[in-house]
Structure 1
Amino acid sequence: MKVGLLLSAAVQVLPSANPVAVGATLTLSLHPATALRGGSWAVGDSLILTWLGEQEAVFPDHSGRASVDVITAALTLTAVTLEDSGVYVVQSSDPPFRANASITVLEPVSNVTFSVNQTDLSELSTVVVTCSASSGSSPSFLWLNGSSEVVANERVALTDENATLSIVGVTRHDRGPFRCFAFNPVSNGTSDFLTFTITYGPDNMVLAVNGNATSFLTGSNLTMLCSAQSSPPALLQWAFRGQLLNSTGPSLKLFDVSQDQSGPYGCLAYNNETNRSSNITKDVVISKSHTSALKQHAFHVWLVPMMPWLGFLLAMLDAGGPL
């Protein structure tokens, strides 16, 4: 009896996989290898098979799926099901022996999809996306933005055990592509990509004249370029000294310029989806020499901020009001 007790304590049942996926083949081996002249395998209170020498008998519940290696006592079970989860016990009376292992069978994850309340968004709006799998035992979820994992922060919430992703105060950088990754210990699956269309702007405007210059000689050719961050692309309109020009688009070209074309040039941007507008102004000085150009530039730098006040004073004079 002491020999049997020592043998049971020293020998372990090692599964080929644990957890194991539904439909897979499971093999339970003894380690170290132990010669048993006969014995039985059971799961819980249900006998699977018995063997003696080279003869084996498989019980009806496992007929056609279970077999034993009569040399090593290893049990092989094919096409496992969720019901095959349990504690597997091998025992023998010659020599006295008993060992066990707990096995978990899991259904693989499949058909990972998401549902979303809307895909056309504007900045500062809120969006909610929920991930699910049509099958799979106890799946876990995580979200990816491109190749980076999405983590919770002051704008991003992960709820329902990470199955639901909520973004509050959407920004233009939340476009994606997002995808949901569902997994359990035996399998994983990924949803299709989700890319949002986000309207924003116009903002962050830039106006450049022949690069970054502001002073030019008469007779020069000028190319003004205007840009704004906007989705959809903003409509761009040019202005000179506060008056709209008959010119639209990202560029304004002036050829053989004269001194009377000096002044503030403006670019106005409008997004017809967000109903927002923005503008930028740059003062351009055109003169016959570089010296006079510098003087005119200094005057314009002083004058441009004063233009609204000058307009107010002129309006007061026209109305006959007191100064």
Structure 2
Amino acid sequence: MDSHALLTVGILSAIGFSSCQNELPLNGPLNGAVGGSVEFTLNNPPSAPPQGITWRFRETPIFTSIGETELPNVVYDGRTSVNKFTASLELRGLTQNDTGLYTVEINISGVVSQGKTSLTVFEKISNVTAEANQNELVEFNSSVILTCSASGSSPSFRWLNRSAVVTGSENKTLTVLNVTRYDTGPFQCEASNAINAQMSSDVNLTIA
């Protein structure tokens, strides 16, 4: 057992942490952007400052405080702030490796309460482009395939024609069969995830 864990156990034993645990509702599930920050908060903050606070990511301690003693994990140095009155945790400089389960335990007068929540970190959507496999078409006789691409995590797609959403266009490709003059566009592709959305430039078709 490392020195951080030994010191934590010793302090917890000294102040008499109870084995009884109450459920502690937290905000979330949370979504965050790479490079951004999130704050984990208690839905019902304690009425009095906890005597002990422990935050963990999966099984790894992030921060522990017992009274005036603080035991931050050096791996998170400069990336975390804990409010010792509300037990909230701010996590900064997010990476996709921060995706996962977060747990907090607080001790108030020997009664331990525990809460869990999750965080998913996304790369923001960027570089959305749309193109057609051909731009010169003959009405009623030609078909066209429009393709969208985007950078970022887990993009969802939809297509617009003249700013109106095309029904059933939730794929990165859109096929228009037997084009009509209404299909000249402009077409746009919108890519989005839980963090942001971005539109492509216009794609215009010539239909004779």
Name the TM-score, length of structure 2 as normaliser: 0.82
User: In the TM superposition, what are the counterparts of 1:264-283 in structure 2 within 5 Å?
Assistant: none
Instruction: Identify the match of residue 78 of structure 2 among 64, 67, 70.
Output: 64
Work out the CA distance in 2 between the residues paired with 1:166 and 1:97: 55
Which residue does the alignment assign to 2:162?
Answer: 146
User: 1: CA distance between counterparts of 2:123 and 2:69?
Assistant: 34
Aligned-pair CA distance for 1:56: 2.3
1:176 alignment counterpart: 185
Q: Are the aligned partners of 1:36 and 1:95 in contact in 2 as well (CA < 8 Å)?
A: no
One-letter amino acid matched to 2:147? T
Q: Distance in 2 between matches of 1:54 and 1:172?
A: 73
**1:66 deviation in Å?**
1.0
Distance 1:193 1:179 in 2: 5
SS at match of 2:97: helix
Q: For residue 12 of structure 1, what is the aligned residue in structure 2?
A: 25
Closer, same or farther: CA 24–119 of 1 in aligned 2, 3 Å:
same
Aligned to 2:145: 128
Mapping of residues 247-286 of structure 1, within 5 Å = none
Which string of whole-angstrom CA distances, capped at 9 and with x for unpartnered residues, describes residues 130-154 of structure 1? 1010x221111000011211124xx
Q: Distance in 2 between matches of 1:52 and 1:31?
A: 22
Supply the distance in 1 between the matched residues of 2:187 and 2:126 (Cα, whole angstroms).
18
Moved over 4 A (4+): 1-4
State the match for 2:45 in structure 1. Answer: 33
**1:86-101 aligned within 5 A:** 86-93=100-107, 94-101=110-117
Task: Give 5+ residue unaligned stretches, structure 2.
Answer: 1-16
Which digits, 9 at most, give the CA deviation of each residue in 1:98-124, with x for residues without a partner? 111112111111110013211121212
Equivalent residues in 2 for 1:217-296, closer than 5 Å: none
Aligned positions, number? 187
- Counterpart for residue 247 of structure 1: none
Q: CA deviation at 1:164?
A: 0.2
Opposite residue 82 of structure 2, the aligned amino acid is V
Give the 3-state SS of the residue equivalent to 2:42 in structure 1. Answer: strand
Offset from partner CA, 1:232-264 (integer Å, 9 cap, x none): xxxxxxxxxxxxxxxxxxxxxxxxxxxxxxxxx
Matched, 1:116 2:116: no
Q: Equivalents in 2 of 1:63, 1:86: separation in Å?
A: 19
Identity level (%): 38
Distance (whole Å) between structure 2 residues aligned to residue 56 and residue 129 of structure 1: 57
- Residue 96 of structure 1, CA deviation: 1.7
How far did 1:3 drift?
10
User: Displacement of 1:31 after TM fit?
Assistant: 2.4
Matching residue of 2:12: none
Task: Point out the structure with max Rg over C-alpha.
Answer: 1
User: Aligned partners of 1:2 and 1:57: how far apart in 2?
Assistant: 20
Distance 1:120 1:182 in 2: 26
Work out whether residues 137 and 206 of structure 2, in 8 Å CA contact, stay in contact via their aligned partners in 1.
yes
Amino acid of the structure 1 residue aligned with 2:87? A
Structure 2: distance between partners of 1:78 and 1:55: 23
**Structure 1 residue identity aligned to 2:184:** R
AA aligned to 1:45 is E
Amino acid at match of 1:38: G
Identify the residue that residue 46 of structure 1 maps to in structure 2. Answer: 60
Contact 2:37–2:90 (Cα < 8 Å) also in 1 = yes
**Structure (1/2) with the larger helix percentage:** 1
Q: Which protein, 1 or 2, shows the higher relative CO under an 8 Å CA cutoff with sep ≥ 6?
A: 2
Structure 1: gaps (5+ residues): 153-157, 200-323
Could you say which structure has the higher strand fraction? Answer: 1
Q: Secondary structure at the match of 2:175?
A: strand
